[in-house]
Amino acid sequence: MGKNSAYEGLQESIKKLKTPSIEVWENKYKDKSYTVYLEIPEFTCICPKTGLPDFAVIKIEYMPHRFCVELKSLKEYIVFYRNIGVFHEHVVNKILEDFVKACSPGYASITGEFNTRGGIKTTVRAEYKKKT
């Protein structure tokens, strides 16, 4: 983007954003391959350009390895974004990074289905696959 872009500098610190911890508990079925699906229908964040709220459904799909995600801490983590100005693409990737860091799954996918704004519906999906 050019120097006169209205978006320049709006997301400089997103990767360093200090978020609440996502807690985990030990998976007692490490010998099984199974998938956990979570859906968060009331996600909100703020558009960094307009300051208006963005609403989305966040869908998480993951294959636990050593740990499973504790849901109360995940809810607190998600609520944190209510007052954060962040682009759709960035928030989905940030959630994925923090989720993987917390539980080291075999596989994880985060999908954000954002409500229509200005006649455009945005869906962002980010994936992680454990290297073998």
Number of domains in the chain: 1
For the domain that residue 95 is a member of, what is the CATH number?
A: 3.30.1130.10
pTM confidence score:
0.90
Residue 27 within any structural domain of the chain: yes
Residue 7 within any structural domain of the chain: no
Q: Hey, what are 127's tokens?
A: 């994936």
Give the strand pairing for 53-63 and 36-46.
antiparallel
Task: Check residue 1 and give its pLDDT.
Answer: 45
Catalytic residues, by residue number, are: 47, 54
Range of the domain at 110: 21-69+81-129
77 Cβ neighbours under 8 A, 6+ residues apart: 19, 20, 21, 22, 98
Residue 2 within any structural domain of the chain: no
Residue 1 within any structural domain of the chain: no
Residue 119 within any structural domain of the chain: yes
10-38 confidence digits (pLDDT tens):
577 788 889 999 999 999 999 999 999 99
Three-state SS at 131: coil
Residue 95 within any structural domain of the chain: yes
Distance CA 40, CA 42 (A): 6
Give yes or no for residue 91 having a pLDDT over 60: yes
Average pLDDT over residues 86-106: 96
